[in-house]
Amino acid sequence: MKDIINKLYRNHSLIYKGILFVCTTFLIVYLFPKSGKFKYNFEKGKPWQSENLYAPFNFAIKKSDEEINKEKHDITANSTLYFDLDVLVEQKVNNLYKVSFYKTFNDSLSRKKMDVLYNVGQQVISELYEYGILNENYDYHPDRSVVLLDGRINVKEGIFDDLIKQDEVTTLIENVLVKNDLINYKTAYTSLFFDLIEPNLSYDKSFTESAIQEELNKITYARGRIEKETLIISKGEIIEGDKYQILKSLQSEYESQVWSKSNYKWILVAYTLLVALALLMLLLFLRKYRIEVFENNTKVTFIFFNIFLMIFITTLVVNYDSKFVYVVPICILPLIFKAFFDARLGLFSHVITVLLLGFIVPNSYEYMFLQIIAGIVTILTVSELYKRANLFISVGQITFIYIIAYFAFFVIHEGSIDTIKWEMFIWFILSGLATLFVQPLIYAYEKIFGLVSDVSLLELSDTNSKLLKELSNKAPGTFHHSLNVANLAEASANEIGANAMLVRVGALYHDIGKMKNPTYFTENQSTGINPHDELSSKESARIIVNHVIDGIEIAKKNNLPDRLIDFIRTHHGTSVVYYFYMEEKKNFPDISTEDFSYPGPKPFSKETAILMMCDSIEAASKSLKEPTSTKIDAFVENIIDKQIEQGQFLNANITFKEIQSIKKVLKHKLANIYHLRIEYPE
C-alpha cells in the first residue's frame, strides 16, 4: 500500500494532467450541438461533387427562412385589427344633443327650419358613430380590415378607413352641412358638437396580438414531401433553387434522426474521441517542444482553460444568434499565449481551438479558414505586445484580413456582390475592437495564474520603481553592477534568440539580497574599510551566500513574479565562494566545500544561464589590470569554461554554439567598456 501511495505521489503531476485532459474533453463535448453531422458537403451555386444522391428515407421539404419570414410578415401586415366599442357613448351623445340643440339655436327660427336643423344634427351623430370615433390617432393602412367588439362579441366589421379620427370630426360635420345646403351654420354646429362628441373606440392590442399569434401558429414549415429512393440530385448538377432547399431539408432531417435514435451514445463516443485526439496533440506538442511548459501544471491548466473559454463563449453566441459568431474575438487566444509563452505555442493552440469550433459554427470550412488566417496574421504582426501602437496596428490588419477573406468567400458562393451583407463588416470591426481587451485580460491572468508577460516585465524594468530605487540608495555599487549585467545579458539574449526582456529584468533584480548587508560586498565599500577583516572565512562566506536567500525573501515580500525569483535563485548556481574557501583551506587543508557553496539550483533555462555568465564576467572584470583584447578574450574564455567544467549549465537548454555566441558578445562589450583601440605601429 505504501509503495502504491509513493508511486502515486511521484506521478502526481501526470495524474493531474490526465484528470485535466479528461475533464476538459467532456466539458467541450457537452457544449457541442446535439446533432449528428451530414456526411456530404455542399454549397449553393456549386456542382454536386458526390455520387447520385437518392433519398435514404421519407422526409418533408422545409421552407426556407426567407419563405417563412415572408409568410409571417404577410400575416402580421394583413391581420385584422380589433377595437373595443363603447355602445353607451352614442346614446349619451344623443341625449345631450336634445338638450344642447335648443340652447344653441334661438327661437326666432321657424318651426320647420328648427326641425331641419335638428335632423341634420342627428344625421351628423349617426354618421360619426356609424363605426365610431377613435380615442387616438393610429397609423394603419386605410384598407386594413377591422372588427368592432362589444365585450368580445363581434358587433361590426369594416376597414380602418371607416373609423373616424378625432381630427376628422370637423370635416365630417362640414360635409353633412354642405350636402344639406346649411354651410352657413358651420360655426354653430361646430360649437355645439365640440362639447358633445366623445370617442367610443379603443384599440384592443392584446386581442389583436392573440389573433395574429393564432394565425402564425397555423403556418406550415414544409412544402411538399420526398419519398424514399427518389433521386434528389445527380453528380455534377448545379445546387440551386429547390435542389438546394431539398438538400438542406435532408441535412436537417438526417442530423435530427441520427441523434434521436439508439446510436446516441455512439455519436457521443465519436465526438469524445475527436476532441480527445485534438487535445492529445496539444499535450504531445508541449511534451516534445515545450517541456518546461508541460512540466508546469499551472501553465497547462491555463492553456486548457483558455481553449475551453473560447469554445464556451462561441457556443453561447451561436445558440443566441449564429450571425454574431464573428464578433467573438478568437484572435485574443494566440495573443495571450504569445504574451506568456511564444509564437509557435500560440499558433498551434489557436489552430487546435479553431478545429474544435468547426463542430459548433455554421459554414465551418469558411469559418476555420478565416480564423486560421487571422491567427497567423496575429502571430506575425504582434512582435512586442507592450507597445500599444503594435496592438492597434495588428488589430487593424486582422480586421482587414477578415473583410478581404469574407468578401472573397461571398463572391465565390454568390457569383456577384449585389446581395453582399454589409453588416458582416460591422461584426468584423467589433471583433477587432474586442481584441483590444487582451491587455486587461493579460493583467487579470497574471494575478490569477501567477504568470508574467512582457507588459509586466516592462513595468518592472523601470529603475524608478520602489525596489530598484531602494537598491540604488542602500547599495549603489550593486545597483550599478546590476545595470551593467542587464546590458550584457540583454545583448547576449538577443544574439541567441532568448527572451531579452526577461533576462534584462532578471539581471536588474538578481542581487537585491545585498541590500541587507551592503558593505560586505566590495562594490559598495567606498570608505576603504572591509568588514570581512573582522570575520572568519566561514562567517564571511555565509554572509556572501546568504545574499541569495535574502534576495528571495525580499522578492517575495515585494510580490515579484516567480520567473524573476528564479534568476535570484540560480545566478550563482552551486558554485563556491572561491576566495574565502581558499583562505580557509590555508589553515584547514581538508575543509569541505559545503560551507562555501551556494544553495543552487543550477540555471535551468537559457535566460538564467546567460545571467550567470554575465554576472560572473562583469564582477570579475573589475580586477582586470591594463586590459587588452588578448587579455579580455582569455578572461572571458577562462571564466565561462570553468562554469562549464563545474556542470553549471547541464540543466539549461543552451548549446555550445550558443555559449560561443555569448562569449563573442561579452568580449566585444568588454572591449567597448574599456575603450580598447587598435594599436597603431610607431
Average pLDDT over residues 116-120: 85
User: In the predicted model, is pLDDT for residue 675 greater than 70?
Assistant: no
Q: How confident is the model at residue 678 (pLDDT cuts 50, 70, 90)?
A: very low
Average pLDDT over residues 441-450: 84
Average pLDDT over residues 647-673: 91
Q: Which residue in 407, 350, 349 sits closest to 373, CA to CA? A: 350
Per-residue pLDDT tens digits for 587-631: 777 787 787 889 889 998 899 999 999 999 998 888 787 778 888
Q: Tell me what pLDDT residue 36 has.
A: 57
Q: How confident is the model at residue 321 (pLDDT cuts 50, 70, 90)?
A: confident
In 3-state terms, what secondary structure has residue 158? Answer: strand
Q: Tell me what pLDDT residue 613 has.
A: 95
Report domain extents, the chain. 2-26+264-449, 32-63+220-260, 74-216, 454-673
Q: How confident is the model at residue 483 (pLDDT cuts 50, 70, 90)?
A: very high
What lies within 8 Å, CB to CB, of 47 at 6+ separation is: 236, 237, 238, 239
Q: How confident is the model at residue 327 (pLDDT cuts 50, 70, 90)?
A: confident
Average pLDDT over residues 556-585: 87
User: In the predicted model, is pLDDT for residue 325 greater than 60?
Assistant: yes
Q: Measured at the alpha carbon of residue 299, what is the angle toward residues 294 and 301, in degrees to the nearest 5?
A: 100
Least confident of 151-165, 254-268, 637-651: 254-268
CB 246 within 8 A of CB 226: yes
CB 489 within 8 A of CB 503: yes
This prediction's pTM? 0.63
User: In the predicted model, is pLDDT for residue 21 greater than 90?
Assistant: yes
Per-residue pLDDT tens digits for 408-429: 877 776 666 776 777 788 888 8
Q: Tell me what pLDDT residue 642 has.
A: 93
CB 220 within 8 A of CB 204: no
Percent share of the chain, pLDDT over 70: 92
DSSP per position, 469-521: HHHHHH-HHHHHHHHHHHHHHHHHHHHHT--HHHHHHHHHHTTGGGGSSGGGS
Distance CA 541, CA 643 (A): 19
User: In the predicted model, is pLDDT for residue 258 greater than 80?
Assistant: no
User: In the predicted model, is pLDDT for residue 470 greater than 70?
Assistant: yes
Per-residue pLDDT tens digits for 42-99: 767 777 777 788 787 777 878 877 888 888 989 888 889 999 988 888 888 888 888 8
Distance CA 433, CA 329 (A): 8
What CATH class does 454-673 carry? mainly alpha
User: In the predicted model, is pLDDT for residue 562 greater than 50?
Assistant: yes
Q: Which helix (H) or strand (E) holds 298?
A: helix 297-320
Packing angle, helices 656-673 and 629-645, rounded to 10: 140
Q: Tell me what pLDDT residue 270 has.
A: 85
In 3-state terms, what secondary structure has residue 676? Answer: coil
User: In the predicted model, is pLDDT for residue 680 greater than 60?
Assistant: no
Average model confidence (pLDDT) across the chain: 84
Q: How confident is the model at residue 389 (pLDDT cuts 50, 70, 90)?
A: low
Average pLDDT over residues 148-167: 84
Q: Tell me what pLDDT residue 441 has.
A: 87
Average pLDDT over residues 307-335: 89
Distance CA 638, CA 649 (A): 15
Distance CA 338, CA 445 (A): 13
DSSP H helical segments within 201-296, as ranges? 205-216, 241-260, 264-289, 291-294
The owner of cell 463535448 is 29
Compare 339 and 570 and report the one with higher pLDDT: 570
Q: Tell me what pLDDT residue 421 has.
A: 73
Question: Exposed e or buried b for every residue in 130-139, given b needs 16+ CB within 10 A?
Answer: ebbbbbeeee
Average pLDDT over residues 462-490: 92
Cell numbers describing residue 644: 562549464
Distance CA 622, CA 594 (A): 27
Q: Tell me what pLDDT residue 262 has.
A: 56
Q: Tell me what pLDDT residue 40 has.
A: 67
What count of Cα atoms within 13 Å lies in the side-chain half-sphere of residue 460?
25
CB burial of residue 149 (10 Å; 0-12, 13-18, 19+): middle
CB 653 within 8 A of CB 606: yes
In 3-state terms, what secondary structure has residue 156? Answer: strand
Q: For residues 456, 458, 462 and 467, what is the CA-based torsion angle, rounded to 10 degrees? A: 30
What lies within 8 Å, CB to CB, of 352 at 6+ separation is: 278, 279, 281, 282, 307
Q: Tell me what pLDDT residue 387 has.
A: 62
Per-residue pLDDT tens digits for 491-537: 999 999 888 889 999 999 999 999 999 988 988 887 778 888 788 88
Least confident of 19-23, 94-98, 233-237: 233-237
